[in-house]
Amino acid sequence: MTYSFQRVYRLNLKYISYFAWYYGFYIIKRGPSYLIASLSLPLTLLFMVTILSHGALISYALIGGFVSIIASNCINGAADAAFFRLQIKIQDLFVPTRITPDDYMMGLTLSYLVFSLPGIILYAILGIYFKIFTFGSILPIILILIAVTVSVSNIAFIIAGVLKHIRNVWGITAVLSIVMTVLPPTFYPYTFLPKWILYILSISPVTPAAVLLQGVLGLEPIIWDMVYILILETLAFLFLGRKFIRWRE
């Protein structure tokens, strides 16, 4: 009985890795234009911030690039999740199998991270070139980016679960992608904003992530409240994403 219970609730790592690799890596291989499109906005903002600030804010723009690439790819994943559910009914195909909604959601989430890897590597190279990283900042950066991936991916699952028609998803994700990556202090110091505005913007997990990255790298003082906000938001969106996935058992 115990073995059966554990087997049911154990993640299907083989499926998760295959799905993430196929839908992440092979999308890059088969459609490199999608990768270029995903990098266009962060690189454009990096260029604009560098020019307008005469290089003074380039460190902030590079840090923001990590967050914005992951966040935009994850939120745009709502279109994929909605297409799978509404058009090709892939969730209905998985229901009679041993694949659980947790396996499916984890596979899609990791695929967004895999798709973001070229951009992450590019910004890492730029960060090393401009000497904005320290050895002690590597682990916090990784943990923050994982939290952003999980939280924003589950926002995408919530959107995909609420929608009743696929035609609405692209407009919603386009607007949310801009709102979540440009308005928060991803490409500029969070100290430019009054505290009350900063906390309002913290409704998006991108904001606490950007604030923490600026603190971890010594660009601005760390606001420790943002640690708790990011953790709570990640757990909350993870719970809501699981509720809205609409897995018909």
Q: Is residue 208 within 8 Å of 226, Cβ to Cβ? A: yes
Q: State the alpha helices, DSSP H only, in 130-224.
A: 138-162, 169-181, 195-201, 206-216
Measured at the CA of 157, the angle between CA 246 and CA 7, to 5 degrees, comes to 65
| Mean pLDDT for all residues in the chain | 84
Q: Give residue for tokens 């953790």.
A: 231
User: 131 or 36: which carries more pLDDT confidence?
Assistant: 131
Overall average pLDDT of the 127-131 stretch: 87
Higher pLDDT, 36 or 229: 229
| pLDDT score at 1 | 44
Contacting residues for 92 by C-beta, under 8 A, at least 6 apart: 248
| pLDDT(249) > 60 | no
Q: How many Å apart are CA 148 and CA 204, to the nearest integer?
A: 10
Residue 178, CA distances (Å) to 182, 186, 220 in order: 6, 12, 24
Question: Average pLDDT in the 111-118 region?
Answer: 87
Top mean pLDDT of 84-98, 115-129, 201-215 is at 201-215
Residue 225 parent element (H or E): helix 225-244
Continuous segment of H or E residues that includes residue 69: helix 58-86
What is the C-alpha separation between 129 and 174, in angstroms, rounded?
Answer: 32
CB count, 10 Å around CB of 202? 21
Distance between CA 64 and CA 69 in Å, rounded? 8
CA distances, 29 to each of 54, 72, 215 (Å): 36, 20, 36
Q: Which of 108-117, 139-148, 167-176, 235-244 has the lowest mean pLDDT?
A: 167-176
- Residue 5: pLDDT over 50: no
In this structure, of 18-27, 67-76, 176-185, the range with the lowest mean pLDDT score is: 18-27
What's phi and psi for 224, nearest 5 deg?
-65, -25
pTM over 0.75: yes
pLDDT in tens, 81-111: 888 887 877 777 777 778 888 888 898 899 8
**Helix %, strand %, coil % of the chain (to 5):** 80, 0, 20
Coil vs helix vs strand at 233: helix
What interhelical angle do 32-52 and 169-181 show, nearest 10?
30
CB of 98 within 8 A of CB of 12? yes
